[in-house]
Structure 1
Amino acid sequence: MNSIAPPIDLRALQVFVTVCETASMTEAARVLGISQSAISQCIKVLEREHGDVLFDRQMRPLRPNAAGRVLLDRARPLLAHARDVALSVRAATKASLSLLRIGCVDSFAATIGPALVEQLVGTAENLRMWSGLTPMVSEQLVNRELDLAVCTESTVDPERVTQQLLFSERFVAVVPLSHAGAPFVEVARSIPLIRYSRRQVTAQQVERFIRHIGIDAPAMYEFDATDPLLSLVASGRGCALTTPLCLLQARHHLPNVSLAPLPESPLAKRHFFLLRRNGEWEDIAKLLADCAIRTLRNEVEPTLRKVMPALPLELFN
C-alpha cells in the first residue's frame, strides 16, 4: 500500500531559501520580519523532516551543504508554484465579485430592494436582482443560479445552505371603508375574504392563521400580487389579510381601505430569511442583513405610519 507523503511546510521552506540567499539567519530574520529564534526553529523543522543537516555551520558566511543545495534547487520552483496558486485563487475570488445575483420575494424587492441596490453599488461590478415566489427563489439558490436569496419560508438542506432569520412582520387586516372599525373576524363572515394565490408561501401562512382564529371563508378570489387584492378591497368587494411590506408595495390603494383589529396570535406573522450556500458570501450577507433592518426602521415603517397611523405598534421584529 502506498504511504502518504508528509506535508511540506511552505513557511519553513521560504525561511530556508531566504537564509540561503542572504547567507545569514540574522539577515533572513530582518528580511522576513520575524525573530531569529523563529528562523532557527524553521530550519530545525526542515532538518528533522529530511533527516539531515542542511547547512555547513563551520563556514562563514552561512552556506548550504550538499543536501541543502538539493533542497534549494527543489524549493524555489515549489514556492513559485505556491505563489501562482495563491494568485489564481485571489483572481477567482475577485472575478466572483464581478457578478452578484440576489433573489427576493416580490414585496421585499419592491420596498427594501432599492435601498439594498444603493448599498451594494461598488461591491460587485455587475449586480442583478430578481424577484419571485419563495419556492422558485430558494431552488435557484441551491442550483447556483443565485448567490443570495431572501425568502419568507425555507426547507433547504442545512448542510448545504445557511439560513438566517432577517426579521418578522405581522399580518394586518384590510377592509372597505364601509366596514371601518369592525373586528376582522366579523367582517370576514359578512363579505368575501380575498386571498393570495395558494401557490404562495404567504397564502399558506395566512390560511393557518385564519383557521386558528376561527374563520372558515370559502375561496372566491385569489391573486399572486397585492395590487389587485387591495383594489378589490378598496372597491368594497371583500376584505383581506396582508402584511406591512405588501401594503407599502401597493400604497396607492391605502387611502381607500381601512384597518381592522385582529386577535393576537403567534401565527399572525410571516418571517423573512436570508439564504446563502455554506461558506460563501458571508460578508455580503451581513451587509445585506444590516441594510434590510436599517431600511425597515428608518424608511419603511415611518412611511407606512404616515399613510396609515392606525397600524399596530409592533409591525416588525
Structure 2
Amino acid sequence: MLQASRQFGMTQSAVSQAVRRAEASIGVAFFNRSRRPLTLTRAGRILAGRVRDLNRDFDTLLSALRDAAKLPERVDLRLGLIDSYAATVGAHLVKELMTGEVALSLSVWSGLAHSHAEALVHRTIDAAITCDAMDDLYDIERFPFYREPNLLVVPRGLEAEFADLDLREILTRHRLVRYSERSYAGAQVERHLSRLGIRPPRAFEFDTSDSLVAMVATGMGVAITTPLCLLQGLAHAGQVSALPLPGPGFFRELLLVTRRGDLSSLAPRIAEMARTSITMQAMPRIRTLVPWFTQDY
C-alpha cells in the first residue's frame, strides 16, 4: 500500500479505499487481510500478473480515443453536382471527400442547376455545387468558391474574322449556338444579350456543354460559354478557339449551397476542397485551351 501510494501520489488510506471499492464492485478479494503483512489472494495474484498488460491496453485505448476525437463524425451526405463540375473535376472531389480526412459516406447526383434547387427544397439532397445562388430561397447558406468569365467560342481558324467586331455584329454574321433557356447558363446568357439589346434568331439549343462545343467545332456557329464548360467539351475543343467576349463581360460563380444549419462546420471545408479541385485539376488543362485566361476573376 505504501509503494502504491507513493507511485500514484495518494495517501495509503485512499489507496486502501480504492482497493476495497474495486473488490466490492466485482465481489472478489485481492488481499488476505487476516495476515500481517497483507498477502495476495489467488485472484489478487492473477490481477498482479496482468496489470502491466492492462496498463498497456489502456494506454492504447486512450491514444485511439484521442485520435478519433481529432476527426469529424462520419456524415452521410447527398451531394448534387452541376454537369460542368461533375464532368471535369467532380471525380477528384468525390474521392477526396470519401477517402480523405472528412471521410464522408457520399451519394452524388449530377444535373442542371434548377434540378438541384428543387432537390434541396424537397430534401432529396443535402448540398449542391451549383452556379445558381438560389436567391429566391430562404434558409439557404451559400459558400462561393470559384468565379469565371464568359468567353466567345468560335471555329478554329476563323479567329481573324472576329477581330475588331462587337458582339452585335458577330451575332449578325454568325449563328449563335445556345444553351437551352431552362438551363441556368442559358438563362444567364439570354439576360446578358437582352441588356445589350441583342436578340439573335433561335437555332440550336443544348443542355450540355459538350454538345454546344461540338456544334461550334463543326462550323455551325459561335457560342458563349465559360472556361470550365469549354473543358467539359474537351473532345471537340481542338477544333475551336476561345476569345475574350467583346463588350461588357459577365461571369459565372460556382458555390456550395446547403440548408441553413445543416452542415455549418463541414460546408466551408467542402467548398475549399471544391476550389482546390478546380485549381489543381482543371486550371492546367483550361490554360492549354485558353492561354490568355487567368484565375484573377
Normalised by the size of structure 2, how large is the TM-score? 0.68
Q: Report the secondary structure of 2:172's partner residue.
A: helix
Q: Report the secondary structure of 2:107's partner residue.
A: strand
Q: Which residue in 1 is equivalent to 2:119? A: 140
- On the 8 A contact 2:113/2:184 being kept in 1, the answer is yes
Does structure 1 residue 119 correspond to structure 2 residue 96?
A: yes
Amino acid at match of 1:140: A
- On the 8 A contact 2:256/2:267 being kept in 1, the answer is yes
Q: Report the secondary structure of 2:84's partner residue.
A: helix
Deviation at 1:214, TM superposition (A): 4.7
Picking from 172, 188, 193, the partner of 1:189 is 172
Amino acid at match of 1:172: L
Change (3 A) 1:250 1:201: same
Q: How does 1:40-55 map to 2 (within 5 A)?
A: none
Structure 1: 4+ residue segments shifted above 4 A: none
Deviation at 1:313, TM superposition (A): 3.2
Deviation at 1:165, TM superposition (A): 2.1
- On the 8 A contact 2:287/2:293 being kept in 1, the answer is no
Amino acid at match of 2:90: G
Deviation at 1:213, TM superposition (A): 4.0
- On the 8 A contact 2:179/2:186 being kept in 1, the answer is yes
- On the 8 A contact 1:176/1:257 being kept in 2, the answer is yes
- On the 8 A contact 1:101/1:127 being kept in 2, the answer is yes
Instruction: Describe the superposition over 1:108-149 as per-residue Cα deviations: whole angstroms up to 9, x where unpaired.
Output: 111231121121114456311111111210121122111111
Q: How does 1:132-281 map to 2 (within 5 A)?
A: 132-153=111-132, 154-158=134-138, 160-181=139-160, 182=162, 183=165, 185=167, 186-265=169-248, 268-281=250-263
- Residues in 2 aligned to 1:100 and 1:187: alpha-carbon distance in whole angstroms: 45
**Runs (5+) with no aligned partner, structure 2:** 1-13, 15-71
Identity of aligned residues (%): 34
- On the 8 A contact 1:100/1:124 being kept in 2, the answer is no
Q: Report the secondary structure of 2:198's partner residue.
A: coil
Instruction: Describe the superposition over 1:173-230 as per-residue Cα deviations: whole angstroms up to 9, x where unpaired.
Output: 1011242131462332212100001101111111122233453210111011111211
- Residues in 2 aligned to 1:125 and 1:210: alpha-carbon distance in whole angstroms: 42
Normalised by the size of structure 1, how large is the TM-score? 0.64
Q: Report the secondary structure of 1:232's partner residue.
A: helix
- On the 8 A contact 1:189/1:215 being kept in 2, the answer is no
- Residues in 2 aligned to 1:291 and 1:125: alpha-carbon distance in whole angstroms: 13
Instruction: Describe the superposition over 1:7-36 as per-residue Cα deviations: whole angstroms up to 9, x where unpaired.
Output: xxxxxxxxxxxxxxxxxxxx9xxxxxxxxx
Deviation at 1:298, TM superposition (A): 2.2
Amino acid at match of 1:171: N
Q: Which residue in 2 is equivalent to 1:81? A: none
Amino acid at match of 1:157: L
